[in-house]
Structure 1
Amino acid sequence: MLPSKSFLLALALVMTLSAGCASVDRQAHADALAAAGHLQHERLRADAFVLTAYTRITRADQPLRVYLEGDGYAWVSRNQPSLDPTPRNPVGLMLAAQDPSPNVAYLARPCQYTPMADNPQCRSAWWTGKRFAPPIVASLNAALEQLRARTPGQPLELVGYSGGGALAVLLAARRQDVATIRTVAGNLDTEFVNALHQVSAMPESLNPITDAPRVANIPQRHFSGANDAIVPPRVARHFIAATGTRCAATQTIPGLDHGGDWAQRWRMLLDNAPACRDGTSPPL
């Protein structure tokens, strides 16, 4: 059974618990969200990291849609990194749990959810200045390879929330099997966003906007919240301009900020599928 009213009821319960108690266990929170969307918990050894995933794959002859989580609880304050980047508000997982597609997978970022004992190399640099570094991209790419093996010959559809949007672009630029890209409040120009907030540059990380020409022919849609002060809509517009192509579009959603209730609107937004402006998609 695909997520529907049961998901909405479970989501309401989880959000109520989260609002009422700041100490809600983040793993239990994720498990409840995933269970409502019929997603199964697993861990994947992927290159340098062990990644937490939630999956629901029921049709091996259909495309696989993979959701990439945001940066999570990366900072305690402007200058103090957290000890655990596991998100308190896992918007990426909420989106995945709402997706009615037959094949859905969610990937947490390195060092999120997975016990640190399984990832002894985890240090705060991996969720701060190096969060888009080549080893991070390589780990997620290795996980995509494992997941895609369950739907052999089928294309990937990537969805990234916030910093996961940056990684969706970076991954698509390094693969030949990505059919579509969707981002939600995606950090698509890290240099611009860091300058906007007057925070340090990330010389050890990759900037997705530099790969805009490499993904220019992939149908893509970048959703922004009209009230998003963290990654404002002009970031997506900068990225669209950098692609210089008919295949990239942006859509600004009224009333939403960066961590808002995207899940409540997600099924409707999914219906607006990415497409090139001539109505066709380039062959993979």
Structure 2
Amino acid sequence: MKRAVCLLALVIPFLGGCATLDRDANADAIAGPAGLTRMLIKTDPFVLTTFARITDLNAPIDIYIEGDGLAWVSRSEVSLDPTPREAMGLQLAAQDRAPNVVYLARPCQFTARAKNPACGIPYWTGKRFAPEIIAAMNQAVDQVAAHAPGQKINLIGYSGGGAVAVLVAARRQDVASIRTVAGNLDHAEVNRLAKVSPLSGSLNAIDAAGQLAKTPQIHFSGSADSVVPPVIADRFRQASASPCVSVRTVPGATHETGWRERWADLLREPPRCGS
């Protein structure tokens, strides 16, 4: 299914009309040069799209989780397809040179609706972090982990994918580390600051902070991020009250910019417990 985005001539006047972005083709163009191959993973009740590169069964797996995607077309209009335009989580995964890298799209992203009858608007709005969403993502991680039995996994989440990474990690014993980028680690506070409705039906990552106090973590925030400001990562660190949880503010980064070009360097800073 082709996913098109109309860009107003006011924004890009020299185009003289609508530019078309095929979001699937864009994802393939990001993944291909990095050796990431598109696959489908069947969970209950969703079919998830993934891009994966597994080359060493004796090495850990870095698993990237996408953000919320195009959940809303505007502040008041819900999208009919949450597939992300730019797929920042995938762009980060493509920068990772580890032998085993897997990208997980969120439920209802990239996968055709005919293969995903369980999909519906609540799952990318108020229920985007619902228990059944987290259970499905955890099932997907189970299937990925089975490709390298006994190996640890490193979870990396962008934006809302950061919340999913934390909530999935709280269900597992094989997570070596967590990294989040512009992570929505307290959606109640994020929505309060934005003066929008709370996410009814969703779990909140900050409620799992204490449970993960012994898991090494780094939570990256952009100094210019007005969507998920650095105070959110600070709140999560305070809730964890743990030397294993650190936060880093990246100068000049916004919610959607300043990450791809810096990610290779940021990855060199491993999460660890203590200074």
TM range (shorter): over 0.9
Q: Distance in 2 between matches of 1:218 and 1:155?
A: 12
2:86 is aligned to 89
1:3 is aligned to none
Q: Which letter does structure 2 place at the counterpart of 1:117? A: A
2:9 is aligned to none
- Aligned-pair CA distance for 1:203: 2.5
Q: Distance in 2 between matches of 1:81 and 1:60?
A: 42
Aligned-pair Cα RMSD in Å: 1.1
Partner SS for 1:35: helix
- Check the 8 A contact 1:41/1:55 in 2, yes or no: yes
1:173 is aligned to 170
Matching of residue 109 in structure 1 with residue 110 in structure 2: no
Q: Which letter does structure 1 place at the counterpart of 2:157? A: G
Identity among equivalent pairs (%): 53
Matching of residue 244 in structure 1 with residue 241 in structure 2: yes
Q: Distance in 1 between matches of 2:19 and 2:148?
A: 39
Partner SS for 1:42: strand
Matching of residue 40 in structure 1 with residue 37 in structure 2: yes
Give the 5 Å matches for 1:127-206.
Answer: 127-206=124-203
- Aligned-pair CA distance for 1:102: 0.3
Q: Distance in 2 between matches of 1:121 and 1:169?
A: 24
Matching of residue 77 in structure 1 with residue 74 in structure 2: yes
Partner SS for 1:77: coil
Count of matched residue positions in the alignment of Structure 1 and Structure 2: 260
Q: Which letter does structure 1 place at the counterpart of 2:149? A: P
| 1:192-236 deviations in Å (ceiling 9; x for gaps) | 001001111122000000110011110000000110000000100
Matching of residue 224 in structure 1 with residue 221 in structure 2: yes
Partner SS for 1:262: coil
TM-score, normalised via structure 2 length? 0.93
Matching of residue 118 in structure 1 with residue 123 in structure 2: no
Q: Distance in 2 between matches of 1:75 and 1:186?
A: 18
Give the 5 Å matches for 1:205-284.
Answer: 205-277=202-274
**Structure 1 unpaired stretches of 5+:** 1-18, 279-284
Q: Which letter does structure 1 place at the counterpart of 2:24? A: Q
- Check the 8 A contact 1:67/1:107 in 2, yes or no: yes
**Structure 2 unpaired stretches of 5+:** 1-11
Q: Distance in 2 between matches of 1:142 and 1:47?
A: 8
Q: Distance in 2 between matches of 1:36 and 1:71?
A: 24
Larger fraction in helix? 1
2:28 is aligned to 31
